[in-house]
Amino acid sequence: MTTSALIDPFGRKIDYLRISVTDRCDFRCTYCMDEEVSFLSREHILSLEEIVHVAKTFISMGTKRIRITGGEPLVRKNILWAIEQIANTQGLEELTITTNGSQLYKMSRDLLNAGVSRINISLDTLKAERFYALTRRDKFQQVIDGIETASKLPFKRLKINSVMLKNHNDDELFDLTQFALDHKMDISFIEEMPLGVITDHNRAATYLSSDDVIDSLGKYYELTPSTTTTSGPTRYYQVAGYEHKIGVISPHSHNFCDTCNRVRLTAEGRLLLCLGNDHSKDLKTVLRKHSYHATPLDSIDHNSDELESAIIDALALKPQKHYFNLEEAPQILRFMSATGG
């Protein structure tokens, strides 16, 4: 069976897959997870071979872009092998990754050679002490070294992603922006989402809207809304005098569901149809139907048809919208790290 395009019940063409290759991480960002968090055991997460198989199946069904994420994708053993396999699959236009940057000082060149064209690097502060407070890890310099290394290589595009929390790091809006522009990178500011229960802070109190971000930055830069889209949810602004852009990701204030073209594969093999809802389809069971364990790549082709059917069935579950309310307890109990940001 081959299908040329995946269309959901609301007529949206789905051609972008995000894959969380692990729920594990070497950081513990306060807005993402608590210090003590339980991770999935090895047999419950998809093998790299299974991930590659799902990715190739999606590509055969019309997927043009894949983003590798996590948890921290670059801490997964042999991840470069999987990246190379996926990047070199005919039909894929772009393989990108989202990373916390901790491994870029030693992996940037290999990622480029493996076929990664764009990297989003998460960085919420330029102050070492604050970095420790936000990530609970002492790796600020390692991340900065990684950014410097990556920015000297010919990636198609590098972008900084910053989650903005009122009274935690919003005084660094200008410094983070200037850092990105000076390094010839774009930067996106993200509104915090109520994914998973965290104990560090009250999300309603730290909420900072994208409009406030743009108002503040408008005092320093001449900003013009840009028509650029990168198939993600970011709305971009052109910065006068600079080649690179400022973006905002606004899951609360500017719901981006109308143009949603994405689905997500979680580390445990659930196909998640929406970040803010729990509708999902268990693809791991389909993959392992004929074997109780993760199977090698060359012996899982026999159930491609079943996998394609499962993916098509799953799309029927894609909801029209997400609803987030910071005043209520989180409705979605999975963390962003388990979802694949």
Q: Which residues bind ligand SF4 (CB under 6 A)?
A: 25, 27-29, 32-33, 70-72, 100, 122, 336-337
Task: Assess contact for 209 and 253: CB atoms under 8 A.
Answer: yes
DSSP secondary structure code for residue 332 in this structure: B
Tell me: does residue 341 bind ligand SAM (CB under 6 A).
yes
- The entry of ligand SF4, ligand SAM, none near residue 188 (CB within 5 to 8 angstroms by kind) is none
Minimum separation from the CB atom of position 282 to ligand SF4 (A):
23
Minimum CB distance to ligand SF4 smaller for 120 or for 151? 120
Minimum CB distance to ligand SF4 smaller for 198 or for 314? 198
Minimum CB distance to ligand SF4 smaller for 61 or for 248? 248
Q: What are phi and psi of 104, to 5 degrees?
A: -70, -25
- The entry of ligand SF4, ligand SAM, none near residue 276 (CB within 5 to 8 angstroms by kind) is none
How many CB atoms sit inside 10 A of residue 106's CB?
Answer: 13
Decide: residue 195, CB within 10 A, 0-12 exposed, 13-18 middle, 19+ buried: buried
Minimum CB distance to ligand SF4 smaller for 29 or for 83? 29
Contact letters (x/-) for ligand SAM, 24-63, by CB under 6 A?
-x-----xx-------------------------------
Instruction: Determine which residue in the list 66, 80, 164, 190 makes contact with ligand SAM, applying CB under 6 A.
Output: 190
Task: Assess contact for 191 and 161: CB atoms under 8 A.
Answer: no
- The entry of ligand SAM, ligand SF4, none near residue 195 (CB within 5 to 8 angstroms by kind) is ligand SAM
| 3-class state of residue 99 by DSSP | strand
Q: Which tokens hold the place of 293?
A: 């364990």
CA distance 31 to 203: 8
Minimum CB distance to ligand SAM smaller for 319 or for 330? 330
Minimum separation from the CB atom of position 100 to ligand SF4 (A):
4
Minimum separation from the CB atom of position 291 to ligand SAM (A):
30
Residues 56-75 that bind ligand SAM (CB under 6 A): 69-70, 72
- Nearby residues of 176 by Cβ (< 8 Å), 6 or more positions away: 123, 124, 125, 126, 160, 162, 187
CA distance 332 to 21: 20
Q: How far is CA 111 from CA 75, 79, 135, in A?
A: 13, 10, 24
Minimum CB distance to ligand SAM smaller for 1 or for 128? 128
CA distance 301 to 53: 8
How many CB atoms sit inside 10 A of residue 184's CB?
Answer: 12
CA distance 28 to 150: 23
Instruction: Determine which residue in the list 22, 30, 63, 99 makes contact with ligand SAM, applying CB under 6 A.
Output: 99
Minimum CB distance to ligand SF4 smaller for 249 or for 286? 249
Minimum CB distance to ligand SAM smaller for 20 or for 85? 20
Element (H, E) at 50: helix 48-60
- The entry of ligand SF4, ligand SAM, none near residue 86 (CB within 5 to 8 angstroms by kind) is none
Residues that bind ligand SAM (CB under 6 A): 25, 31-32, 69-70, 72, 98-100, 122, 161, 163, 190, 192-193, 195, 336-337, 341
